[in-house]
Chain A
């Protein structure tokens, strides 16, 4: 199984929304500021529910916040 990464645009989206702080976003999502920081830094991949709540708090669609990349060969689906 290839190594996968989930990248995100949370930092950019926060600054586009009147420089929303990590604490503000954390309170809207219902997690700690440290968890938002870890997600932004790519140190933690959130659950689907938290990912949706982040997108909702930022007022965008999920795919505008998170994108999935795989190191598997192009055209090959990673094994389940």
Chain B
């Protein structure tokens, strides 16, 4: 497994992990009509999840780089660059589709805070899709 494939796995697993942690504080009964008093709890959980994500990803990458320093320091070759571009394109489509669908949430009663969180969640989902696409391209080829 190449360093960049490992990197995709690390990012994906960490994203899923911190998203699950954050979702424990999400108001599932009224998901996108957050009342001002419930917002601080969700926001603090988001800050904690973001910090956790950065720390876990950095530490995991450092550990992987220490175990295989040559692979980690080698620049991406043409296949890896192409995989990155193709995966990012798929993720961009997902992000665009989800972000545009936020218009429908307005008709379901979403408020400004709810819409902002929906766009953030769209970004996280798009990033997960990008990681999955990178892993699939590395595994199956194209």
Contacts and interface: CB of A to CB of B under 8 A. Distances in A.
Interface of A: 30-35, 38, 41-44, 46-47, 50
B67 interface: no
A47 B140 CA distance: 18
A64 to B, nearest CB: 22
B13 to A, nearest CB: 20
Contacts of B36: none
Interface residues on B, range: 10 to 19
Interface of B: 1-2, 5, 71, 74, 77-80, 138, 140-142
B78 A31 contact: yes
A39 to B, nearest CB: 8
B141 A30 contact: no
Contact of B71 (A32, A44, A50): A32
B141 A50 contact: no
Contact of B80 (A32, A42, A46, A50): A32
Contacts of A31: 77-79
A72 B105 CA distance: 50
Given A46-B78, A47-B78, A34 B141 contact: no
A44 B77 contact: no
A38 B138 CA distance: 9
B80 A44 contact: no
A41 B141 contact: yes
A23 B80 CA distance: 16
